[in-house]
Structure 1
Amino acid sequence: MKNVLLIKEIYLEAFRNLGHALLKSYFKAFSWFCIASYIVMLYAFIFRVSTGFAFD
């Protein structure tokens, strides 16, 4: 739980002092897109490993 709170605080601090609202929205959307892409990549990798895919 401590790690989750630390990540949340880092996330909030990163966007606290950005100036323009459009820039702020863009970076928030981009960060969520990156997180979602990373989750999809992890899912695909775990699926391939669990089904016995040969990484040759």
Structure 2
Amino acid sequence: MKKLLLVKEIYVEAFRDWTYRVLKKYFKMFSWLWLALFVITLYAFAYRLSTGFAF
């Protein structure tokens, strides 16, 4: 039983930091994607304004 608890503790310790890193990278990627989509939206809006699109 002691050996099983030791293995469990090693497993939990190994993946504790891993989860944080994955979430950090996910949110960083999500923020860059959001920024790219926002820039595309602004470009499309400016293009429509410059060509005289009737809203």
TM-score, normalization: structure 1?
0.64
Aligned residue runs from structure 1 range 1-56, under 5 A: 20-55=20-55
Structure 1 unmatched ranges of 5 or more? 1-18
Please identify runs of 4+ aligned residues in structure 1 that moved more than 4 A: none
Q: CA deviation at 1:34?
A: 0.4
Distance across 1 between alignment mates of 2:51 and 2:37:
21
Name the count of aligned residue pairs. Answer: 37
Q: Per chain length, whose mean CA-contact separation is higher, i.e. which structure has more relative contact order (CA < 8 Å, sep 6+)?
A: 1
The CA RMSD measured in Å over matched residues stands at: 1.1
Higher Cα Rg: structure 1 or 2? 2
Identity %: 54
